[in-house]
């Protein structure tokens, strides 16, 4: 599904040049659950932006489902984000005084899906993300942190993406709630979704089946996790 070859990312600020990624190479197969782990400043956030088609590399190749993302226009990158990638962020990014069901259905509204179909898909996604039906009509600001993250996961699922990209998804949660959310990712992976988890925490990364360690813009090691 993902093939990254010698990805380099340079930033220019005034007279200062900074190389955030220094030649990153790896492959992720369809249906894998992989964590990309590294400390602050390691380059993992830059890599996540490239993998999520939110940015492009300075050089190197990024293939997603066989398509060379590194050569796409802004319009084509937006299409990739809409159709192939579901994003889950640390900060949830939910509309606060809006119902759970409407928050989840929002991407479908932008895609022009009719209301009845939107609600049907949103409900299916919420159930898939492990959300209880009794909360579907609650406002998002009436939910706990763990419930809000499940709603965010459900929203990431509505377009049936081939890749779920989770950026520090447990960062705003206590340990117990974080375990529940990570359990949701595991269940989604078992149902066939490819999960890419970005984290700086080793305990969180250990929930994946494989960890790619990144430091100073380079892949330090890439190893399977024994459960």
Share of the chain above pLDDT 70, in %: 100
What six digits make up the tokens of 127?
């159930």
3-state secondary structure of 90: coil
Mean pLDDT estimate for the chain:
90
pLDDT for residue 40 is more than 90: no
- pTM for this structure? 0.87
**What's the pLDDT band for 16 if we cut at 50, 70, 90?**
confident
Share of the chain above pLDDT 90, in %: 45
For residue 103, the surrounding DSSP H or E stretch is helix 100-110
pLDDT at 10: 93
* Choices 3.40.50.300, 3.40.190.10, 3.90.800.10, 1.25.50.20: CATH for 2-224: 3.40.50.300
What is the rounded average pLDDT of the residues 118-139? 90
Distance between CA atoms of residues 28 and 44, nearest Å: 16
pLDDT at 174: 85
Of the candidates 71, 33, 48, 38, the one whose C-alpha atom is nearest the C-alpha of residue 214 is 38
pLDDT for residue 110 is more than 80: no
Of the candidates 84, 85, 115, 88, the one whose C-alpha atom is nearest the C-alpha of residue 102 is 115
pLDDT tens per residue across span 57-92: 999 999 999 889 988 888 888 888 888 898 888 887
pLDDT at 96: 84
pLDDT at 140: 87
What is the rounded average pLDDT of the residues 94-112? 87
Q: How many helices (H) and strands (E) in the chain?
A: 7, 10
For residue 221, the surrounding DSSP H or E stretch is strand 218-224
pLDDT for residue 22 is more than 90: yes
pLDDT tens per residue across span 172-190: 888 888 888 898 889 889 9
Q: Which residue has the tokens 């990739």?
A: 80
């Amino acid at each position: 599904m993902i093939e990254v070859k010698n990805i380099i990312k340079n930033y220019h600020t005034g007279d200062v040049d900074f190389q955030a990624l220094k030649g990153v190479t790896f492959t992720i197969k369809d249906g894998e659950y992989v964590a990309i782990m590294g400390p602050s400043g390691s380059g993992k956030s830059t890599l996540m932006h490239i993998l999520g088609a939110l940015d492009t590399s300075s050089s190197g190749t990024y293939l997603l489902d066989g398509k060379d993302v590194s050569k796409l226009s802004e319009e084509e990158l937006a299409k990739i984000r809409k159709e192939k990638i579901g994003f889950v962020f640390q900060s949830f990014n939910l509309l606060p005084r809006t119902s759970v069901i409407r928050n989840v259905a929002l991407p479908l509204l932008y895609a022009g899906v009719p209301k009845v179909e939107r609600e049907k898909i949103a409900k299916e996604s919420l159930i898939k993300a492990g959300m209880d039906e009794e909360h579907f009509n609650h406002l998002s600001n009436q939910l706990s942190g763990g419930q809000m993250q499940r709603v965010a996961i459900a929203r990431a699922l509505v377009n049936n993406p081939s890749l779920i990209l989770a950026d520090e998804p447990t960062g705003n949660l206590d340990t117990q709630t974080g375990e529940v959310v990570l359990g949701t990712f595991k269940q989604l992976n078992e149902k066939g979704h490819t999960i890419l988890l970005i984290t700086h925490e080793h305990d969180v990364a250990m929930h994946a089946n494989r960890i790619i360690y990144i430091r100073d813009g380079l892949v330090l090691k890439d190893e399977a996790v024994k459960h």
